């Protein structure tokens, strides 16, 4: 609980007198409050901290958020916010998460000036603590185990969707509460679609199949991609596999605190470009993972954030050849002061299944 109180304190430290901040994004609310229900707001000033929820959740909130003053809000939550923030000059809201409709309704009710703010909570979430890393590690372990099991049933004749469903079932059996996103199972020419979610396409011999999968464990996500061969693949597919694997390993070796996302991205991008496939790697190298599947920091050509110890990021280069197929290999890693710790432990050498 002390940990949750410290998170709130860090936010309060950024506010001046007569400034308030309303948090409505569900992940941000959960990060600050520990609340696991679906309806709640965190409202803080420099020295006050409230958790607002409706009648359904009042008792749950009192149990989960003892570091905040729990208030059952009126039918219209903006009325409660208006009365709690009397005398305020500015009320910051999360401009990336509040709808324009809600912004207008809130502005009509409160006397303070309602102003947008960006990434106040996200910037706290970017570096993980030990408990958070343990949960992400567990989500990654579930993913590794489920993937290993389904490798036994990947063969010509099964569909992408059958494999996706089997993965989901096995992850949940192993303790995942949800899947982290709609799984990408992209076989053959569909492998050229970086986000080709599973379809009823039948897998055939001679194809590569890209699996981009992840589990959610106690709110925290994992993210891993592996590409496997079904039967004998063409020399071109073998070639791009080896290039992506080299780029992935080298980028991973380059990860450490003090470097920017841009620098890490460049390691993989240069290898793929020098091999002649630069134009076929059209996305960033990776991203942060935590309560959201995609969060800060970006590890891309625009990644200005300097990596710090205990950030959790993905390293996922790919090559996508339209009309031919594609390869992506992705590990989830913890940034360390020197190097990185891999959380995705599935083998990255080309697996050939028959």
Q: Cβ distance 20 to 90 under 8 Å?
A: yes
- Smallest distance from the beta carbon of 335 to Mn ion, in angstroms? 16
Question: Which is closer to Mn ion, CB of 50 or CB of 320?
Answer: 320
Question: Which is closer to Mn ion, CB of 213 or CB of 233?
Answer: 213
- Smallest distance from the beta carbon of 22 to Mn ion, in angstroms? 30
Positions in the binding site for Mn ion (CB under 5 A): 223, 314
- Smallest distance from the beta carbon of 131 to Mn ion, in angstroms? 22
Task: Indicate the pairing of strand 286-288 with strand 318-321.
Answer: unpaired
Residue 220 makes CB contacts below 8 A (sequence gap 6+) with 132, 135, 136, 138, 139, 290, 291
Contacts within 8 Å (CB) and 24+ apart, 280-287: 280/319, 280/320, 280/321, 281/317, 281/318, 281/319, 281/320, 282/194, 282/320, 283/194, 283/318, 285/251, 285/261, 285/315, 285/316, 285/317, 286/261, 286/313, 286/314, 286/315, 286/316, 286/330, 287/313, 287/314
- Smallest distance from the beta carbon of 127 to Mn ion, in angstroms? 19
- Smallest distance from the beta carbon of 223 to Mn ion, in angstroms? 4
> CA 199, CA 192: separation in Å to the nearest integer?
14
Which DSSP symbol is given to 27? H
Question: Which is closer to Mn ion, CB of 62 or CB of 178?
Answer: 178
- Smallest distance from the beta carbon of 316 to Mn ion, in angstroms? 5
Question: Which is closer to Mn ion, CB of 19 or CB of 314?
Answer: 314
What residue is closest to Mn ion based on CB?
Answer: 223
Question: Which is closer to Mn ion, CB of 132 or CB of 223?
Answer: 223
Question: Which is closer to Mn ion, CB of 310 or CB of 314?
Answer: 314
């Amino acid at each position: 609980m002390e940990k949750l109180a410290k998170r709130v304190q860090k936010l309060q430290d950024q506010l001046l007198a007569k400034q308030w901040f309303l948090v409505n994004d569900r992940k941000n609310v959960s990060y600050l409050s520990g609340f696991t229900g679906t309806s709640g707001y965190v409202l803080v000033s420099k020295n006050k901290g409230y958790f607002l929820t409706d009648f359904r959740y009042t008792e749950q909130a009192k149990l989960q958020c003892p570091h905040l003053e729990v208030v059952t809000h009126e039918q219209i939550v903006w009325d409660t916010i208006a009365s709690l923030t009397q005398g305020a000059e500015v009320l910051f809201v999360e401009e990336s998460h509040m709808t324009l409709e809600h912004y207008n309704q809130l502005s009509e009710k409160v006397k303070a000036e309602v102003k947008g703010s960006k990434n106040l909570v996200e910037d706290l979430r970017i570096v993980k603590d030990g408990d958070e890393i343990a949960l992400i590690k567990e989500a990654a372990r579930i993913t590794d185990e489920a993937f290993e099991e389904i490798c036994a049933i990947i063969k010509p004749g099964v569909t992408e969707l059958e494999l996706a469903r089997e993965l989901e079932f096995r992850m949940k059996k192993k303790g995942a509460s949800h899947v982290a996103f709609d799984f990408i199972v992209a076989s053959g020419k569909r492998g050229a679609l970086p986000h080709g979610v599973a379809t009823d396409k039948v897998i055939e011999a001679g194809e590569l199949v890209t699996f981009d999968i992840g589990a959610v464990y106690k709110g925290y996500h994992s993210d891993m991609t592996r590409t496997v061969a079904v039967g004998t693949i063409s020399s071109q597919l073998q070639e791009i596999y080896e290039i992506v694997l080299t780029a992935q390993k080298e980028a991973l070796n380059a990860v450490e605190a003090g470097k920017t996302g841009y620098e890490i991205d460049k390691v993989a991008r240069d290898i793929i470009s020098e091999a002649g496939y630069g134009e076929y790697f059209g996305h960033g190298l990776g991203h942060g993972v935590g309560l959201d599947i995609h969060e800060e920091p970006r590890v891309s050509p625009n990644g200005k954030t300097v990596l710090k110890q205990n950030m959790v990021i993905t390293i996922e280069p790919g090559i996508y050849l339209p009309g031919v197929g594609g390869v992506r290999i992705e590990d989830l890693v913890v940034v360390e002061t020197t190097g990185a710790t891999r959380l995705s432990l599935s083998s990255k050498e080309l697996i050939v299944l028959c």
